[in-house]
Amino acid sequence: MRKLFVLVSAVLFAGTAPAWSKGGVVSAADPRAAAAGQEILRAGGSATDAALAMMLALTVVEPQSSGIGGGGFLMVHQPGQREPYSIDGRETAPASASPDLFLGSDGKRLDFRTVVPGGRSVGVPGNMALMAMAHRKSGKLPWARLFQPAIRLADEGFVVTPRLAGALGQMKGVWSDFPDARAIYWQDGRPKQAGETVRNAELAATFRLLAKKGARAFYSGANAKAVASAVSNAPRNAVPMTVKDLAGYRAKVRKPVCMAYRVYRLCGMGPPSSGATTVFQVLGLLERFDMKALGKDSPEAWHLIAEAMQLAYADRERYLGDADFVSVPVAGLLDKTYLATRSASISSDKSLSAYEPGLPPGAAPRTASTTADVPGTTHFVAVDGRGQIAGMTSTVEGPFGSQLVVKGYVLNNELTDFSFVPEERGAPVANRVEAGKRPLSSMAPTIVYGPDGKPVFTVGAAGGKTIIMQVAKALIARLDWGMSASEAIAAPMIYYSGGAIQVEAGTPLAAMAVPLAQRGHMVMAVDMPRLKANAAELTAQGWAGAADPRSEGVALSE
């Protein structure tokens, strides 16, 4: 076992180098998941097939972040097309959910940590419906073949990585009421540690059922009854969920949000994700500045990024939500004139100090929302030798989601992505809870097209609201500063939280704290070990995959 752990550790921490291929490449946040994608490509599968196999494998090896008990967004570029298609597999609130779901009997918002464990936070999972739709549209191998790597991992067992061990350690004081989770991830009365093995026979059996009977077996029959019962009879925060809630779930094809940035065309996920809209706002606000000339070592460049970030997030909090329930002015938020007006308020040598939302074309006045920021989720990419590209961000929200385990997989706590307070100053909040609604997300799978209309770069990230800035930063680094995909996602991170600009400790950006403060920012250097981005780019040698060096991720060639 010790030899196996050393081997896995070597793969984990040697995997940050790019993987070039004239054929296909994959990149995921866990080497076992990347290997599953590689296996599917080598078997003749499409990029979509590989991405779906990685989603299933991550259900096994990265249960703290994603899986079939959660949801996600998928972007797929088909060869010869100038625009990708996107699938929304975001979770939905059950029929019993009402705008006061997260309010106490006194009408005040409940504490986030109180409502996460148990049933109240669980949305109807969407990943299996997404998988079925994607496989019909652009899969190549038989459905059941995609499950084989994940079934092996669950049956034969996998070694606990340091990151999973850290997440399990956080659950020590939480899982007293969750015996199903302890049964899988506990050993000798304590969380499993790095180097120990997890086997999940029940999850393997679930995968075999789904491989044989299709996604409908997730949303009906014994599995649907088990999910509904787990939520309705949860040891904490039990709320009604029914088999009808599961039977009624539908994944949806959404029109991607696309925008020109310099000589490129960028496409990403639209509402209920705020990812593309907010990422593209950041870039649109910066477009009038010569970011290339300023370069990555310029405090002025990072100051401008900080200003654009705060203006874009202000609009996000006010206007973004599930477009099936509220009017979301995506076109107005990305309108060139609107962005130019907002950008004009940015000075190169002084911070704005106050960052209020604007009034984009087509938007009605609306109150801002607030949501918790939980650093979970995972992203993975695949490119096949025929030119198909698939990028998916998948999540169960916080570490181990709701802590509920059903038939071997973790159920999400995605409903805590809704705004807890449904009204502000007498007006409804866009992201308030409503039955059947999908909570606002920051997930931002993105595909970049070059001047000739062909794809050149794809990227996505994990980590709550930081996803937006991880992707925006990577795009600036790749498109403006000419960095490789590996360099772009490894570049230092900047974020805004708690009234301060956060710069990644131990990086050249942290050394710019003084000149940033001189421009009026409150600056904090903080460790950001949970950042986790994955990407792929077209190079002269073919497609190259890249994984974040802060993570355990790897990129592998076909």
Active-site residue set: 377
Burial (0-12, 13-18, 19+ Cβ within 10 Å), 14: exposed
Give the span between the Cα atoms of 399 and 386, in whole angstroms.
36
Q: Report how far residue 418's alpha carbon sits from residue 554's, in angstroms, rounded to the nearest whole number.
A: 32
Q: E strands, 355-424, where? A: 378-383, 389-395, 405-406, 409-410, 423-424
Q: How far apart are CA 84 and CA 383, in angstroms?
A: 13
Q: What is the DSSP letter of 67?
A: -
Cβ atoms of 427 and 369 within 8 Å: the answer is: no
Cross-strand bridge partners of residue 523: 501
Q: In Å, how far from its chain's centre is CA 223?
A: 25
Determine how many CB atoms are found less than 10 A away from the CB of residue 200: 26
Contacts with 254 (C-beta within 8 Å, 6 or more apart), sequence order: 86, 87, 88, 269, 270, 271
CA–CA dist 318, 152 (Å, integer)? 45
Q: If you ran DSSP here, which 8-state letter would residue 104 be given? A: -
Q: What are phi and psi of 385, to 5 degrees?
A: -70, -10
For tokens 């949305």, name the residue. Answer: 123
Cβ neighbourhood burial of 176 (10 Å; 0-12, 13-18, 19+): exposed
Strand residue runs (E) in 241-283: 252-254, 257-261, 264-268
Alpha-carbon gap, residue 312 to 278, rounded angstroms = 6
Strands 500-504 and 523-526: parallel
Identity of residue 82: R
Q: Give yes or no for a contact between 32 and 363, defined as CB atoms under 8 angstroms apart.
A: no
Q: Rounded CA gap, 545 and 558, in Å?
A: 11
Instruction: Give the SS3 label for residue 71.
Output: strand
Location of structure tokens 């969920």: 241
- What is the identity of the amino acid at 477? A
What is the DSSP code (8-state) at residue 26?
A: E
Measured distance between the N- and C-terminal CA atoms of the chain, rounded to whole angstroms:
28
Distance CA 307, CA 314 (A): 11
User: Omega of the bond prior to 451 within 30 degrees of 0, cis?
Assistant: no
